[in-house]
Structure 1
Amino acid sequence: MLFSTFFATALLSVSSLISSVAAQTPGACSGDCNVHDPALIRRTSDGKYFRFSTGNKITIATSSALAGPWTNQGSAITGGSSIALTGNDDLWAPDIQKVGDYYYLYYSVSTFGSQASAIGVARSTTMEVGSWTDLGSTGIASSSGSAYNAIDSNLILAGSTYYATFGSFWGDIYQVPMASTPTKTAGTSIQVAYNSSGSHAVEGSFTYYRSPYYYLFFSSGTCCGFDTSRPAQGAEYRINVCRSSSVTGPYVDATGKSCTAGGGTTVLASHDNVYGPGGQGIYPDTTQGGAVLYYHYVNTNIGYGDGQKLFGWNLLSWSTGWPVPT
């Protein structure tokens, strides 16, 4: 009886968590709010927000507040990447991290649907337009027949070691240790998330530590082209998560299902006029009083085009031990 009661309570807790994913209105945004694959950080010297995104050789926008008004400042990698791959002047999926005196900007070089891909990095002490030095490839690369597609990187420090998570479709999400100056790989990659069903539509990983767990966020489903061909209901982009007590895994979802066997608890999905949220990251923002989940989405009252995607954000509650947007 005691075990049955405990098991029922656990199932109820998981059920409540999943159902609480419901309608959470994105935080306010004004100014330049059209964005794809945002990456967010505040500059330590003055508290100014910098937002990086796909397009225009990585677009830089700035604001004095998370809600805006956001102002487009121009391109980060103004001359394109030094990586000798098709797509080196059309850079994707940035990730921004501060390490020591530098801000490191990771970016993807690829073309849509291709496995000929690589992850590059640039750095700056200020993040301003014109201040970035492109350092080229990190050593994370793929070609036809590789286990993964080398795009969508994210850097995390665990103990004294940096790790990059990355990947999109094919073998989904992988992780590799990085050098102490995190511009090059320093070990062998391992798979940390995989969904064998359908087209293996898992990508855009972001690893976030909140004691005692590492949380692996990722986007699952169809990301793009909603204005010409929308997927079956529920197959569009959504934000999922698994967690582990170790940065290298194994990661499991709220039901205990392995993240390498299709696991993933939904954090945010389509609701009301919000459609296809994804391309997410987490930023611990003291001005907002906690961790901020940021992402892109389309507002169905405006339009479904890729160029109409908007910057969204919500605070996260952790009362269940799992992230829930508020």
Structure 2
Amino acid sequence: MKKNPHLMALVFAGAVSAFASGCGQEVPSPQEGDEALATSGDALACSTRITYGDRWIRPSGHTAQYDTAANLVTWDGTCVNEGTNSYAVLSNGWKPYFTGNNACVLALDTDCSGATSCSTRISYSAAWLPPSGHTARFDDVGGRVFWDRACVNEGSNSYATLSNGWKPYFTGNNKCGMSFRYTGCGGLYQNPVVPVGCADPGIIHDGTRYVVACTSGGAANAFPLRTSQDLVNWTSAGSIFPSASKPTWATGDFWAPEIHKVGSRYIAYFTARHSDGKLSIGAATSASALGPFTDLGRPLVHDTGMGMIDATYFQDTAGTPYLVWKADGNAVGQATPIYGQQLSADGLSLVGTRRTLISNNLAWEGAVVEAPWIVSRGGYYYLFYSGNSYANSTYAVGVARATSPLGPYTKLGEPILKTGGGWVGPGHNSVITGPGGDTYMVYHAWDSAHSTRMMLIDAITWPNGWPAVPEGPSADSRPMP
């Protein structure tokens, strides 16, 4: 049988991974992987994509984070320690190696018969303390479960907290050991998902794709746009305002854009500096989420005594539209209330009475609350917001909830997302449903060099009636949204 040279290279890639660990693993010959090969020029009857976690020991010259193999490839979740590394043995004989003990993380996605919906297998190390009657060394659960590798000591034992709230215990201090197999979840991703400047991301799904807009400041083209099918891989798609079509009333400081569908058209709500020097909220309309956008011709919200910024739009469960925004009091030594007010049906004028939803009254918020985003769920309106200084590690995301769209709102208290995982000052978030149906937070954070604010995403869970961002901001591999 003539071998497919591309697939032969993949077999070698798995073998080299074992050899590169320096642990003396015997390297299998290509012939031992014949079952994974197809005849040259023939289409594969079916195939499996194997995506490796971020601790994978990459073979020399292997630029991708995945391999594609012919036929159905499986793995039982067992992670074998060898020296200071570990490896998995796949059903086709491949042995990917990973840095560290119990460090195996793999995603298997196939178009073969037997493909399943997204599920997670968590396999426990020998130090695991199984519950009474639990004979297997693993747990299988539907959906996506992950861990940030934090291990908490408690007496002479230790435990880990998984994203679904499980707390497996292990004998001895710092003995938490688990491997993760994701099947049918679409692969793995790692933050950042936009590795360049993308502050204050506002996101929408327009029915066919995700569209995100970001702060542009004084750039020639205001509010760069990007599109994606999966929330992870993004493509540039122009801007809300190319240089020739910027609002005539605005002089600069183009901040915090969001695009929302209002009726049959799209409205971009944004912040810009008015010609009188005050930050103001504008609005522009388009038949498409990608534009072209036509500015209203004047600010939607303008106050000669106070800057107004960070607008967001939402509808209550009855379909009534609202605008929510922040008074920029911190710029003049005053409080920073977040206001809410009903909008006209076309989304282009305010009606009714303005209400104060929250203000900066908690210690962690410092002098600022800003960047609101509201979602309705289970009889509550949840107001996500950011607090403290965007420029440093004090910036974080908080949440409040109410049973009425204009409050009164009750704060959870402590932030649900703060500096960690190598990321500084996470905040100014949007909330969106991912392709798999889970809820995700899209937000910015400074990289460790503090050079720019990049775009990240992490899953939101809802324990006890409040949102949480388990193990966020994430730095390691996570299952695709």
- State the alpha-carbon separation in 2 of the partners of residues 174 and 115 from structure 1: 21
Instruction: Pick from 323, 340, 343 the counterpart of residue 164 of structure 1.
Output: 323
Matched residue, 2:210: 49
**What is the alpha-carbon distance in structure 2 between the residues aligned to residue 250 and residue 321 of structure 1?**
17
Q: Out of 278, 286, 290, which is 1:124 matched to?
A: 286
Contact residue 27 and residue 314 of structure 1 kept, 8 A = no
Letter of the 2:421 counterpart:
D
- Asked whether 1:289 is paired with 2:450, we answer no
CA contact (8 A) 2:258 2:269 kept: yes
Go from structure 1 to structure 2 and tell me whether the alpha carbon gap of 1:195 and 1:104 turns closer, same or farther (over 3 Å shift).
same
1:103 counterpart residue number: 266
Cα separation, partners in 2 of 1:122 and 1:32, compared to 1, 3 Å: farther
Counterpart of 2:370 (choices 203, 218, 221) is 203
Q: 1:187 to 1:249 in 2, by over 3 A?
A: same
Distance 1:167 1:115 in 2: 17
Number of positions where the alignment pairs a residue of Structure 1 with one of Structure 2: 270
Q: Please tell me whether the aligned partners of residues 268 and 285 of structure 2 are also in contact (alpha carbons under 8 angstroms).
A: yes
Pairwise CA distance, 1:115: 7.5
> Matches of 2:454 and 2:287 in 1, distance apart?
28
Checking the alignment, whether the CA contact within 8 Å between 1:102 and 1:123 is kept in structure 2 is: yes
Q: Structure 2: where are the runs of 5+ without partners?
A: 1-160, 166-187, 330-335, 471-481
In 2, are the aligned partners of 1:85 and 1:116 still within 8 Å (CA)? Answer: no
Out of 225, 235, 238, the residue aligned to residue 74 of structure 1 is: 238
Q: Indicate yes or no: 2:401 matched with 1:243.
A: yes
TM-score by length of 1: 0.75
What is the Cα deviation at residue 218 of structure 1? 0.6
- Find the aligned partners of 2:196 and 2:436 in 1 and give their Cα distance: 19
Q: Find out whether 1:321 has 2:465 as its counterpart.
A: yes
- Letter of the 1:118 counterpart: S
Q: Is the CA contact 1:168–1:202 (under 8 Å) kept in the aligned structure 2?
A: no
How far apart are residue 30 of structure 1 and its match? 4.7
Residue 168 of structure 1, CA deviation: 4.4
Q: Is the 8 A contact 1:26 1:314 kept in 2?
A: no
Could you tell me which residue of structure 2 aligns to residue 154 of structure 1? 312
Question: For the structure 1 residues 157 and 267, does the alpha-carbon distance in structure 2 shift closer, same or farther, using more than 3 Å as the test?
Answer: same
CA RMSD, aligned part only? 2.6
Q: For residues 31 and 164 of structure 1, do their structure 2 counterparts lie closer, same or farther at Cα, with a shift above 3 Å needed?
A: closer
Aligned-partner Cα distance in 2 for 1:108–1:101:
23
8 Å contact from structure 1 (residues 41, 51) kept in 2? yes
Structure 1, unmatched stretches of 5+, are: 1-15, 225-229, 255-263
Higher relative contact order (CA 8 A, sep 6+): 1
Matching residue of 2:379: 212
**Kept after mapping to 2: 8 A contact 1:169/1:200:** no
Post-superposition CA distance 1:4-45 (Å, at most 9, x none): xxxxxxxxxxxx9xxx9xxxx99544566431000111221x
- Residue number in structure 2 paired with 1:181: 346
Q: CA deviation at 1:288?
A: 3.1
| 1:142 and 2:318 matched | no
Residue aligning to 2:424: 275
Question: Structure 1 CA distance, aligned partners of 2:195 and 2:417?
Answer: 23
Residue 72 of structure 1: how far off its partner (Å): 2.0
- In structure 2, the CA distance between the partners of 1:173 and 1:26, relative to structure 1 (3 Å rule), is farther
SS at 2:421 equivalent? coil
| 1:138–1:211 Cα change, 3 Å | farther
Q: Tell me the distance in 1 between the aligned counterparts of 2:381 and 2:299.
A: 23
CA drift of 1:247 comes to 0.8
What amino acid does structure 2 have at the position aligned with 1:37?
A: D
SS of the equivalent of 1:204 reads: strand
State the one-letter code of the partner of 2:410: V
Determine helix, strand or coil for the equivalent of 1:315: strand
3-state SS of paired residue (2:301): strand
**How far apart, CA to CA, are the structure 2 residues paired with 1:26 and 1:203?**
29
The structure with more radius of gyration: 2
Deviations 1:32-88 (A, max 9, x none): 6431000111221xx2221101103111111232111x122222112354352432x
Q: 1:314 to 1:82 in 2, by over 3 A?
A: same
Mapped partners of 2:381, 2:446: distance in 1: 29
Question: Contact conserved, 1:57 with 1:80, CA < 8 A, in 2?
Answer: no
Partners of 1:173 and 1:99 in 2: how far apart?
A: 22
Contact 2:201 2:455 in 1 (8 A): yes
Per the alignment, do residues 238 and 31 of structure 1 end up closer, same or farther by CA in structure 2, a change over 3 Å counting? closer
In structure 2, the CA distance between the partners of 1:316 and 1:199, relative to structure 1 (3 Å rule), is: closer
User: Equivalent residue for 2:27?
Assistant: none
Q: Which amino acid aligns with 1:160?
A: G
Identity of aligned residues (%): 26
